[in-house]
């Protein structure tokens, strides 16, 4: 339990951050806890596992990969303690291995959709989206990329550095220039913070503007997302909260210190409706956004009752 608490603390303090790392840490914590759990009866085993699962999930309620990892890692069907323990260890390891390979699989699958000569626009700095782009380039496709600055935190600077490392020709633009350059774009590829039951995408602020402009010009809009990004809570109506970040990311406080009628708003994410998304590239293949409910129910294994 100490190790579980340690993991939980690291997740809470954001020492462990990023959907994938959180997911794996949680699965490992469950696995190791189950491996060492001394239980006199199946009831005791069950209730301990249940308790630890709930505890882990509660450490960062907004991290959608956390309940998915705990759910998939803590499954067992046997009524025998030893067998159940082995099931958990096996399921946790399967989850961890799949999570490890998810980015690679998304890269391979998405890369097949890229054509020689494609100009790809991307936003922010998504590992899954970049996996598709760099895989396609390594597969020999002559592509180029238009990367947005992604204010306020300018993650676009990470993206151009990453792509430059692969030798991929890349153009940096300000976020306001997205529609201006859309006529030159063949495909837009972005990542996902979360995907809701009705197929809506939650991602870095500005994503929905790329989607809208791509839709207007009928350019393909692809989302790259590991299946643990699908939000089980949305099935029962839980809204996905949009984090409001500090004003000083947007403007130096000194500049607005004396502007008493001015406030700054800095939402970290926005919503992209399913109708603007052509496909979601996941580790279990390409799906339309309307399949989100099925992914949550059949692939992640959630029942409405337990959410």
Report the distance separating Cα 264 and Cα 223, nearest Å.
29
Residue 278 within binding range of a second copy, rule CB under 8 A: yes
Report the distance separating Cα 102 and Cα 108, nearest Å.
10
229 marked as part of a ligand binding site? yes
Residues numbered 255 to 274 that lie near a second copy (CB under 8 A) are: 255-256, 259-267, 270-271, 273-274
Residues numbered 196 to 215 that lie near a second copy (CB under 8 A) are: 197-199, 204-206, 208-209, 212-213
Least distance in Å: CB of 22 to a second copy? 24
Catalytic one of 118, 124, 278, 283: 124
Catalytic one of 118, 193, 278, 283: 193
179 marked as part of a ligand binding site? no
Residues numbered 233 to 252 that lie near a second copy (CB under 8 A) are: 234-239, 250-251
Which of 47/62 has CB closer to a second copy?
A: 62
Q: How far is CA 279 from CA 76, 162, 178, 282, in A?
A: 33, 25, 20, 9
Choice from 29, 52, 99, 149 touching a second copy (CB under 8 A): 149
101 marked as part of a ligand binding site? no
153: its two tokens: 């935190």
Taking residue 306's Cβ as centre, other Cβ atoms within 10 Å add up to: 9
Stretch that binds a second copy, among 18-26, 39-47, 65-73, 275-283 (CB under 8 A): 275-283
Residue 289 within binding range of a second copy, rule CB under 8 A: yes
17 marked as part of a ligand binding site? yes
Which of 18/285 has CB closer to a second copy?
A: 285
Residue 161 within binding range of a second copy, rule CB under 8 A: yes
Residue 158 within binding range of a second copy, rule CB under 8 A: no
Which of 65/111 has CB closer to a second copy?
A: 111
Residue 21 within binding range of a second copy, rule CB under 8 A: no
Q: How far is CA 195 from CA 96, 140, 155, 215, in A?
A: 21, 31, 21, 19
Stretch that binds a second copy, among 2-10, 32-40, 90-98, 150-158 (CB under 8 A): 150-158
Choice from 167, 254, 257, 306 touching a second copy (CB under 8 A): 167
List alpha helices for 183-256, DSSP H. 207-216, 253-256
Of 120, 71, 102, the closest CA to residue 281 belongs to 102
Report the distance separating Cα 284 and Cα 265, nearest Å.
37
Rounded to a whole number, what is the distance in angstroms from the first to the last CA of the chain? 24
Which of 86/266 has CB closer to a second copy?
A: 266
Report the distance separating Cα 148 and Cα 120, nearest Å.
11
The two most distant CA atoms of the chain are separated, in Å, by 68
Q: How far is CA 227 from CA 42, 128, 237, 297, in A?
A: 31, 11, 19, 12
Report the distance separating Cα 184 and Cα 10, nearest Å.
44
Least distance in Å: CB of 92 to a second copy? 20
Least distance in Å: CB of 38 to a second copy? 37
203 marked as part of a ligand binding site? yes
Q: Which DSSP state fits 239?
A: P
- Catalytic: 193? yes
* Binding letters toward a second copy, positions 100-139, x by CB under 8 A: --------xxxxxx-x------------------------
User: By the 8 A CB rule, do 242 and 184 touch?
Assistant: no
Backbone φ and ψ for 302, nearest 5 degrees, come out as: -85, 140
| Catalytic positions | 124, 193
């Amino acid at each position: 339990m100490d190790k579980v608490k340690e993991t939980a603390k690291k997740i809470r303090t954001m020492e462990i951050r990023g959907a994938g790392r959180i997911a794996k840490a949680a699965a490992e914590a469950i696995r190791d806890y189950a491996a060492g759990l001394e239980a006199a009866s199946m009831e005791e085993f069950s209730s301990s596992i249940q308790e630890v699962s709930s505890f882990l999930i509660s450490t960062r309620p907004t991290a959608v990969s956390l309940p998915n990892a705990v759910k998939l890692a803590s499954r067992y069907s046997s009524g025998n303690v030893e067998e159940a323990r082995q099931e958990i260890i096996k399921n946790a390891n399967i989850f961890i291995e799949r999570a490890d390979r998810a980015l690679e699989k998304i890269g391979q699958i998405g890369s097949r959709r890229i054509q020689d000569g494609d100009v790809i626009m991307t936003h922010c700095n998504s590992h899954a989206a970049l996996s598709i782009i760099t895989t396609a380039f390594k597969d020999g496709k002559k592509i180029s990329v238009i990367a947005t600055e992604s204010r306020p935190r300018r993650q676009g600077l990470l993206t151009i550095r990453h792509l430059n490392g692969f030798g991929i020709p890349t153009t940096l633009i300000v976020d306001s220039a997205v529609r201006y350059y859309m006529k030159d774009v063949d495909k837009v590829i972005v990542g996902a913070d979360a995907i809701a039951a009705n197929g809506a995408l939650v991602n870095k602020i500005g994503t929905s503007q790329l989607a809208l402009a791509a839709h207007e010009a009928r350019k393909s809009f692809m989302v790259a997302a590991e299946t643990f990004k699908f939000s089980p809570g949305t099935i029962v109506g839980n809204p996905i909260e949009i984090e409001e970040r500090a004003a000083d990311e947007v403007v130096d406080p000194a500049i607005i210190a004396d502007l008493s009628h001015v406030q700054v708003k800095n939402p970290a994410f926005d919503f992209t409706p399913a109708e603007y998304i052509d496909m979601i590239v996941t580790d279990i293949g390409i799906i339309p956004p309307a399949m989100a409910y099925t992914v949550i129910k059949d692939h992640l294994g959630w029942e409405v009752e337990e959410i």
